[in-house]
C-alpha cells in the first residue's frame, strides 16, 4: 500500500501488479536502458526478491543484446518486441525479433561448456525457471518464464 497526499487530503492506494505490458523498440543499443526500466517497473509489485528482479532484468537485457548483436548484426533500425504477461502462477516474457535465427547456436553454446560470449544464456537459465526458443519463419521468439512461487 502507498499513501498519497493530494490537495490536503491523505488517501491510501493499493498498487496492484500490471497484468500485461508490451514494448516495441528499435534495435539501437541506447534503447536497452528504456527496456530495462520497463521490465523493472513491471516487476515492482511482484513477490520477487531484489536479487531475482535484478537477474530477470539482466536476463532480458542479455536476450535483447543478443538480438541486436547476432540477429540484426548491429543494425539499429530493426524491431524488437517485448511482451510481459502474468499467467496463472508465473510471469512470462517474450522477446521477438525478425532477424536471422540465432538462438539455435546460442542454445547449444550455453548448454554445455561456457565459451566467451556464451555466458548470457547461462545467466538467463539461472534467472528464469524456463527458457524456450520458438523458431519462426522469420526470426525467433525467446520465451522466459519465472514462477511466482
pLDDT tens for each residue of 95-123? 999 998 765 555 555 554 444 566 788 99
Q: Kindly provide the b/e burial profile for residues 46-62, where b requires at least 16 CB atoms within 10 angstroms of the residue's own CB.
A: eebeeeebebbbbbbbb
Q: Which CATH class is domain 17-147?
A: alpha beta
pTM of the model: 0.80
Task: Give dist(CA 40, CA 46) in Å, integer.
Answer: 10
What pLDDT does 103 receive? 55
| Cα distances (Å, whole numbers) of residue 19 to 85, 87, 88, 146 | 6, 8, 11, 14
Mean pLDDT on 138-148: 96
Q: What is the mean pLDDT of the chain?
A: 84
Query: What are the domain boundaries of the chain?
Result: 17-147
Amino acid at each position: 500500500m502507498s499513501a498519497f497526499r493530494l490537495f490536503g487530503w491523505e488517501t491510501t492506494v493499493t498498487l496492484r501488479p500490471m497484468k500485461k505490458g508490451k514494448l516495441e523498440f528499435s534495435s539501437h543499443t541506447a534503447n536497452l536502458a528504456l527496456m530495462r526500466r520497463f521490465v523493472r517497473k513491471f516487476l515492482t509489485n511482484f513477490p520477487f526478491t531484489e536479487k531475482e528482479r535484478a537477474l530477470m532484468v539482466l536476463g532480458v537485457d542479455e536476450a535483447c543484446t543478443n538480438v541486436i548483436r547476432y540477429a540484426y548484426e548491429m543494425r539499429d533500425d530493426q524491431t524488437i518486441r517485448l511482451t510481459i504477461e502474468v499467467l496463472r502462477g508465473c510471469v512470462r516474457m517474450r522477446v521477438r525479433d525478425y532477424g536471422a535465427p540465432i538462438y539455435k547456436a546460442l542454445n547449444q553454446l550455453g548448454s554445455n561448456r561456457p565459451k566467451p560470449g556464451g555466458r548470457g544464456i547461462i545467466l538467463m537459465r539461472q534467472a528464469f525457471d524456463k527458457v524456450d526458443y520458438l523458431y519462426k519463419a522469420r526470426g525467433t521468439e525467446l520465451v522466459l518464464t519465472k514462477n511466482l512461487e
